[in-house]
């Protein structure tokens, strides 16, 4: 029995999601990484003509039809509405369709009709105007998974995997948000995902400190010794291999990266700066802790170049390939 295809959502229709979806199909059409996109076929036809990328498209009614058409055309499962918005000009009227594409992708995956969810970038400001109450994809996906799961964001690329313990919050709020329990829980979800989704039998974690020099014995801040170090000790007692807290300025060079499988970072930029330095065009955002595989390009909607034909599909291609690999790992070792 072949692996079900991946479900790709359309993302913000005024952004570059449609363009990179078309380009990803051209790049992957001869591979076994099959996917269908939940979108408006007429929109994609118009976009392909605008950017001068001749792309055969084929309407499908169910995900199982993907195999029959993928090598000849990009399979499109209709979103159910005609999308009318110009590239670079988001329209609140498309918000429900954007969210419905995500819901349907999750539903297909939860029912076994798709092997994973790959999400094109969304425009959060537009969704917020339409009443969307979540900070982003991650929280919405956790709700769709049942609401009782704790999801964790991992970024992967350039031979590096990073997990921010705190994500989208002002830097001034990070010290109070960090707790030993939060760090332990995040690390355990990460360690389990590395085994389940990446096939690493005994994952090695590196734990970044919060302050310069990991606090330098409390001289540069108390959190490293009072909050992070106890988390490391608890994890070791649970037979999880972890080093730290480590100074953030010395744990991302090449030799250091070879000593761990994932780095847990205390705040957003501590994780994303090294990742984007190594893999700016090909980084992948993956959500750990969900009952299904989910990946996404590690970039935004790029409204400024939408419809120009300039958008790189590298991150989406990497996202599709990683989602397929993760789904295979779960299927074989689940």
Q: Are residues 20 and 125 in the same domain?
A: yes
Residues of the chain short of pLDDT 70, as ranges, are 1, 334
Residue 253 belongs to some domain of the structure? yes
Q: Are residues 171 and 274 in the same domain?
A: yes
Q: Are residues 199 and 301 in the same domain?
A: no
Q: Are residues 4 and 86 in the same domain?
A: yes
Domain termination residue (choose one: 232, 259, 278): 278
Predicted confidence at residue 109, as pLDDT, reads: 96
Q: Are residues 144 and 289 in the same domain?
A: yes
pTM of model > 0.75: yes
Q: How many domains does one find in the chain?
A: 2
SS (H, E, C) the chain: CCCCCEEEECCCCCCCHHHHHHHHHHHHCCCCCCEEEEECHHHHHHHHHHHCCCCCEEEECCHHHHHHHCCCCEEEEECCCCCCCCCCCCCHHHHHHHHHHHHHHHHHHHCCCCCEEECCCCCHHHHHHCCCCCCCHHHHHHHHCCCCCCCEEEEEECCEEEEECCCCCCHHHHHHHCCHHHHHHHHHHHHHHHHHCCCCCCCEEEEECCCHHHHCCCCCCCHHHHHHHHHHHHHHHCCCEEEEEECCCCCCCHHHHCCCCEEEECCHHHHHHHHHHHCCCCCEEEEECCCCCEEEECCCCCHHHCCCCCCCCHHHHHHHHHHHHHHHHHHHHC
Q: Are residues 225 and 322 in the same domain?
A: no
Q: Are residues 135 and 184 in the same domain?
A: no
Predicted confidence at residue 39, as pLDDT, reads: 96
Q: Are residues 127 and 15 in the same domain?
A: yes
What is the extent of the structural domain holding 26?
1-148+282-334
Q: Are residues 180 and 108 in the same domain?
A: no
Domain termination residue (choose one: 278, 301, 321): 278
Q: Are residues 231 and 298 in the same domain?
A: no
The CATH number given to whatever domain includes residue 77 is 3.40.718.10
């Amino acid at each position: 029995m072949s692996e079900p295809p991946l479900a790709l959502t359309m993302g913000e229709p005024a952004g570059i999601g449609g363009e990179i979806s078309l380009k990803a199909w051209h790049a992957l059409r001869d591979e076994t990484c099959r996917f269908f996109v939940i979108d408006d076929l007429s929109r994609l036809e118009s976009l392909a003509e605008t950017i001068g990328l001749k792309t055969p498209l084929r309407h499908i009614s169910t995900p199982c039809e993907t195999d029959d058409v993928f090598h000849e055309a990009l399979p499109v499962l209709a979103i159910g509405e005609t999308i009318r918005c110009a590239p670079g000009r988001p329209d609140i009227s498309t918000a429900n369709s954007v969210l419905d594409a995500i819901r349907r992708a999750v539903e297909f995956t939860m029912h076994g009709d798709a092997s994973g969810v790959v999400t094109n970038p969304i425009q959060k400001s537009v969704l917020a105007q339409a009443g969307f109450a979540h900070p982003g994809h991650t929280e919405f996906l956790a709700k769709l998974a049942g609401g009782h799961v704790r999801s964790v964001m991992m970024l992967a690329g350039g031979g590096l995997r990073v997990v921010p313990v705190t994500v989208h919050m002002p830097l001034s709020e990070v010290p109070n948000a960090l707790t030993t329990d939060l760090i332990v829980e995040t690390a355990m979800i990460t360690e389990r995902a590395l085994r389940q989704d990446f096939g690493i039998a005994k994952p090695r974690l590196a734990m970044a400190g919060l302050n310069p020099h990991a606090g330098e014995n409390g001289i540069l801040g108390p959190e490293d010794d009072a909050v992070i170090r106890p988390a490391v000790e608890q994890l070791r007692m649970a037979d999880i291999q972890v080093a730290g807290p480590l100074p953030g300025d010395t744990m991302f060079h090449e030799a250091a990266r070879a000593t761990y499988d994932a780095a847990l970072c205390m705040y957003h930029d501590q994780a994303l700066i090294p990742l984007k330095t190594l893999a700016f065009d090909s980084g992948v955002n993956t959500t750990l802790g969900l009952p299904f595989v989910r990946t996404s390009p590690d970039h935004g909607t790029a409204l400024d170049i939408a419809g120009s034909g300039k958008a790189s599909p590298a991150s989406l291609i990497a996202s599709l390939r990683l989602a397929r690999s993760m789904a295979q790992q779960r299927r074989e070792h689940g």
